[in-house]
């Protein structure tokens, strides 16, 4: 019963060699170190500047805010129109019959609507305030994302250093354990001391595993802020600098931060836009003027004239628009932080 099995062994070995040529090539296997080096060569290596550039290009929060800026740029372009609407042309014709006499009447009318109550300027102020607020929010978001990228990048560097230190500790404790085992065999050390060394190796390996998990968590956090696939392998290129700068006083730091906080300026621009929006809603009660001129021919006679038409604001008083604008102004004022502390104060 053994001979058939022995006959199949060369065939099985040949199949394995064909499927996994790297395993049997030159009688050498693929080591863990070589596999790690291969994975490292396939990973994405980033410096801090590369990480910042990647975040600015792929971060979803920044992408969404850039889209909002584009929307308000369209509103700003729309608000620059000189008149509310395009000119209107009306053509009319009629057939007149009076017994045996027949005639054709026709008319042409051209009309144009114009702003009243400063609505055009108010529309531009509303759009300009919203665009300015969105751009300032984008600037502040870039600063915030930049800070998050730097922090995440530093965490990866720190976790990498911790893992390397843990690896050196494991190597040192393993050597100590081996030396202790030799000393026990020679009768120079006790078994209790050897057990202590073995426990030290186990603890060092546990710390190494914890450092590995921390490095993976730090890489995932960096992937999130960069806006890239978390399954993509990332390696950071850089070193931790221990050069500490002399920072100014806390009060000076607060003043500097408030001066550069574009989110405060964005809140103020949003309040100004809401105030203009309320004025615009209230001015809608004053209707726009429509100027028209016409030419017609009736019963063989030319008729030329013009006039002005005004819609009567009787059924629609724009109360809903004014109420909405008032609520938007109140919300913008609640969101506006205190210019001194940077803390949001209701009704500020």
Start-to-end CA span in the chain (Å): 94
pTM, full prediction = 0.69
Buried b (16+ CB within 10 A) or exposed e, 179-207: ebeeebeeeebeeeebeebbebbeebbeb
121: in domain = yes
Q: Domain span at residue 186? A: 45-335
Percent over 70 (pLDDT), the chain: 82
Per the structure, how many domains does the chain have? 1
> Does residue 95 lie in a domain region?
yes
Check which CATH number belongs to the domain holding 201 and give it: 1.20.1600.10
Give the strand order in the sheet containing 301-309: 88-98, 101-114, 289-298, 301-309
Q: Is residue 138 part of a domain?
A: yes
Element (DSSP H or E) covering residue 288: none
**346 — pLDDT class (breaks 50, 70, 90):** very low
Inside any domain, residue 252: yes
β-strands 101-114, 289-298 pairing:
antiparallel
Q: What is the DSSP letter of 82?
A: S
Q: Which one is predicted more confidently, 342 or 285?
A: 285
Per-residue pLDDT tens over the stretch 244-262? 667 778 888 777 777 777 8
pLDDT digits (tens, 9 = 90+) for 65-94: 999 999 999 999 999 999 999 999 999 888
> In angstroms, rounded to a whole number, what is the distance separating the alpha carbons of residues 174 and 205?
10
The answer as to whether 3 is a domain residue is no
Lowest mean pLDDT among 19-23, 142-146, 211-215, 236-240: 19-23
Identify whether 15 is part of a domain: no
Within a domain: residue 28?
no
Q: What is the pLDDT of residues 129-144, one digit of tens each?
A: 999 999 999 999 999 9
* Segments of the chain assigned E as strands: 44-46, 88-98, 101-114, 234-236, 289-298, 301-309
The whole-number pLDDT of residue 153 equals: 94
Highest average pLDDT, of 46-60, 88-102, 330-344, comes from 46-60
33 in any annotated domain: no
What is the tens place of the pLDDT at every residue in 114-123?
Answer: 999 899 999 9
Cα 48 from Cα 35, distance rounded (Å): 27
């Amino acid at each position: 019963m053994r001979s058939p099995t022995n006959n199949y062994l060369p065939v099985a070995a040949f199949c394995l060699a064909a499927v996994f040529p790297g395993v049997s090539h030159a009688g050498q296997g693929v080591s863990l170190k070589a596999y790690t080096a291969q994975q490292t060569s396939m990973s994405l290596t980033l410096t801090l500047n590369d990480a910042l550039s990647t975040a600015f290009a792929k971060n979803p929060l920044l992408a969404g805010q850039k889209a909002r800026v584009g929307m308000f740029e369209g509103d700003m372009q729309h608000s620059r129109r000189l008149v509310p609407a395009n000119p209107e042309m009306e053509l009319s014709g009629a057939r007149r019959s009076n017994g045996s006499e027949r005639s054709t009447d026709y008319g042409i009318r051209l009309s144009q609507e114009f702003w009243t109550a400063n609505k055009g300027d108010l529309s531009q102020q509303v759009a300009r305030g919203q665009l300015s607020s969105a751009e300032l929010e984008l600037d502040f978001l870039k600063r915030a994302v930049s800070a998050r990228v730097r922090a995440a990048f530093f965490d990866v560097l720190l976790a990498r250093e911790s893992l390397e230190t843990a690896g050196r500790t494991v190597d040192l404790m393993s050597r100590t354990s081996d030396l202790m085992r030799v000393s026990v065999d020679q009768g120079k050390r006790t078994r209790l001391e050897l057990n202590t060394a073995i426990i030290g190796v186990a603890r060092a390996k546990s710390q190494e595993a914890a450092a590995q998990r921390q490095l993976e968590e730090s890489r995932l956090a960096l992937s999130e802020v960069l806006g890239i696939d978390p399954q993509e392998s990332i390696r950071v290129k850089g070193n931790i600098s221990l050069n500490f700068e002399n920072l100014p006083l806390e009060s000076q730091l607060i003043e500097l931060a408030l001066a550069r906080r574009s989110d405060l300026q964005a809140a103020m621009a949003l309040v100004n836009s809401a105030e203009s929006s309320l004025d615009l809603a209230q001015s809608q009660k004053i209707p726009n003027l429509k100027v028209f001129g016409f030419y017609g021919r009736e019963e063989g006679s030319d008729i030329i004239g013009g006039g002005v038409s005004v819609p009567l604001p009787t059924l629609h008083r724009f109360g809903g628009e004014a109420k909405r604008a008032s609520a938007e102004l109140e919300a913008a004022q609640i969101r506006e932080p205190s210019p001194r502390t940077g803390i949001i104060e209701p009704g500020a």
